[in-house]
């Protein structure tokens, strides 16, 4: 199975690169996803020349700006060095399809990083690691997440879907898009988008409907940022129900009256949290298979990927 290149904070793989000489080994990343992801590991603090062990760095609010400084007797500002390291990564790893950062880190944390006054008083938890902030600006399509947040099933699944989708895009569409490649690509993901935002789905569908052979490149440029932004949202229960009802109506002519009634009741049960998403998706998949309504099959790597991670997705191939 083809692996997907993903950047990762080096300490999460068990490497002793943290300021105290330790690591933050993450069992899920190394034992559950090692067959899917090809990790590109990096510790930005070590990469800019800070030793192991070392004095920790902190985010300091100074003159209205957030700066990263060492906690040494004479503080050293490493903000620019960490930002430059992000530039280096963006240039050297253009093929990565996601990045998993270490939470709470003043270099790599995405959310809720502590910020201090110049006198060392904690002011808030509204910071973002300098390296992470710069890299996400340089690579706006890149799915990113913190390792700690991957313990949440919904956040983890959403991250995996986005990583797989970006990889799929780069493999099948981005290089030399044939006229029908974009439509086939969206056929594989339209239910994912519908579950997150119907307006986003209608916008993307309209964009595809207006595309021609002559403007396919510009259509792709307009499509992919909107598509990835839509996937960045978490699907809602009501959004899932809307997709299920759409598929139920699509199946209506192929089902008996009893089957339609059972499916409608199952959708209602899911809406009121009496039935799991996994159970109803399997019912829908079976009906779609039986009636040859699966649409365009996805690439084998994505099928393997979805099966391996047991994603509860609206990809029915």
User: How far is CA 53 from each of CA 22, 45, 56, 78, 273, rounded to the nearest angstrom?
Assistant: 8, 11, 9, 17, 50
Confidence of residue 188 (pLDDT cuts 50, 70, 90): confident
- pLDDT of 69 above 60: yes
Which pLDDT does position 17 carry in this prediction? Answer: 97
Which pLDDT does position 292 carry in this prediction? Answer: 64
pLDDT digits (tens, 9 = 90+) for 9-59: 999 999 999 999 999 999 999 888 888 899 999 999 999 999 999 999 999
Q: Is residue 145 classed as helix, strand or coil in its secondary structure?
A: strand
pTM: 0.89
| Nearest of 129, 49, 131 to residue 87 by alpha carbon | 131
pLDDT digits (tens, 9 = 90+) for 198-242: 999 999 999 999 888 778 888 999 999 999 999 999 988 999 899
Residue with tokens 């309504």: 293
Token pair, residue 88, equals 């280096």
pLDDT digits (tens, 9 = 90+) for 126-139: 999 999 999 999 99
Mean pLDDT, all residues of the chain: 88
Higher pLDDT, 259 or 211: 259
Which pLDDT does position 294 carry in this prediction? Answer: 52
Residue with tokens 């809406």: 271
Which pLDDT does position 311 carry in this prediction? Answer: 44
CA distance 77 to 70: 7
CA atoms within 13 A on the CB side of 103: 12
Share of the chain above pLDDT 90, in %: 67
Cβ 271 vs Cβ 219: under 8 Å: no
The CB density around residue 271, as the number of other CB atoms within 10 Å, is 15
> Would you list the DSSP string of 65-78?
EEEEEE-SSS--B-
Cβ 4 vs Cβ 35: under 8 Å: no
CA distance 164 to 166: 6
Q: Return the bridge partners of 145, or none.
A: 100
Contacts 24+ apart (CB under 8 A), 243-249: 243/191, 243/194, 243/195, 243/314, 244/270, 244/280, 244/284, 246/194, 247/191, 247/284, 247/288
CA distance 263 to 245: 9
- pLDDT of 315 above 60: no
CA atoms within 13 A on the CB side of 134: 22
């Amino acid at each position: 199975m083809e692996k997907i290149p993903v950047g990762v904070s080096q300490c999460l793989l068990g490497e002793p690169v943290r300021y105290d000489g330790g690591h933050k080994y993450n069992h899920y990343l190394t034992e559950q996803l090692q067959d899917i992801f090809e990790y590109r590991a990096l510790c930005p603090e070590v990469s800019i020349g800070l030793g192991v062990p070392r004095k920790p760095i902190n985010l300091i609010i100074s003159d209205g700006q957030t700066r990263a400084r060492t906690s040494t007797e004479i503080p050293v500002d490493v903000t620019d060095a960490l930002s430059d390291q992000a530039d280096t990564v963006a240039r050297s790893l253009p093929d990565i399809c996601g990045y998993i950062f270490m939470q709470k880190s003043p270099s790599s944390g995405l959310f809720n990083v502590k910020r201090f006054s110049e006198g060392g008083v904690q002011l808030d938890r509204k910071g973002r690691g300098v390296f992470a902030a710069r890299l996400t600006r340089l690579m706006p399509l890149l799915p990113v997440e913190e390792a700690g947040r991957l313990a949440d099933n919904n956040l983890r699944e959403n991250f995996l879907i986005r990583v797989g989708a970006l990889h799929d895009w780069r493999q099948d569409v981005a290089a030399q898009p044939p006229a029908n490649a974009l439509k086939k690509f969206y056929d594989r993901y339209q239910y994912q988008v519908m579950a997150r935002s119907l307006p986003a789905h209608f916008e993307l569908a309209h964009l595809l409907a207006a595309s021609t052979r002559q403007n396919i490149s510009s259509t792709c440029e307009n499509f992919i940022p909107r598509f990835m932004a839509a996937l960045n949202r978490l699907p809602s229960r009501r959004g899932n129900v809307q997709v299920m009802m759409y598929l139920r109506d699509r199946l209506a002519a192929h089902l008996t009256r009893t089957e339609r009634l059972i499916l409608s009741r199952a959708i209602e049960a899911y809406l009121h949290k009496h039935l799991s998403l996994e159970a109803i998706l399997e019912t829908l998949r079976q009906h779609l298979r039986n009636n040859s309504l699966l649409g365009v099959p996805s690439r084998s790597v994505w099928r393997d990927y979805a099966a391996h991670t047991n994603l509860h997705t609206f990809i029915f191939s």
